[in-house]
Structure 1
């Protein structure tokens, strides 16, 4: 386990979610009712940065073509509207362990 510091807990609490660069990755981090989630922030379809959080469904949508991913598993729930027959089972994203450590959000990369 290699934990990397990303964003302050206060900043994430206020914003609810953020895409942060960690080493050579961009990771989407969300705080939903006190539970932290981390998922690759780069869509597996067209390499756009994810960004529309649905806290109720625990999903995140890609701004470019509206693919939807599960925050808990990284699975693609809805394919991009431009590729309706995309293989959802192959286009999931990696998830990451996330924790609050003394006021800083850390991600296990």
Structure 2
């Protein structure tokens, strides 16, 4: 495991979610009622940065073409509207372990 410090836990708690650059990648992080989530932050379709969070359904949507992903598993739930026949089972996002370590959000890259 290689844990990388990212942002303040208080900031993530306040803003609920944020795409954060970690080394050479963007990771989308969320704090939903104290539970932390981390998935790839670039959509598998056109590499747009995902950031439209639905807290109730634990999903995140890509702003470019509206692909929808499960925040817990990274699974694509809806393909981009420009590619309705895209193979959803092959276009999910990687998930990461995430933790609060002494007030800092760390992610295992």
TM-score of the superposed pair, with normalisation by structure 2: 0.99
- SS of the aligned residue for 2:11 comes to helix
**Are 2:48 and 1:22 equivalent residues in the alignment?**
no
**Are 2:4 and 1:4 equivalent residues in the alignment?**
yes
Q: Which has the higher strand share?
A: 1
- Pairs within 5 Å for 1:1-109: 1-109=1-109
RMSD: 0.4
Between the aligned partners of 1:10 and 1:54, the Cα distance in structure 2 is: 20
TM-score of the superposed pair, with normalisation by structure 1: 0.99
Between the aligned partners of 2:32 and 2:13, the Cα distance in structure 1 is: 9
The alignment covers a number of residue pairs equal to 109
Between the aligned partners of 2:18 and 2:93, the Cα distance in structure 1 is: 16
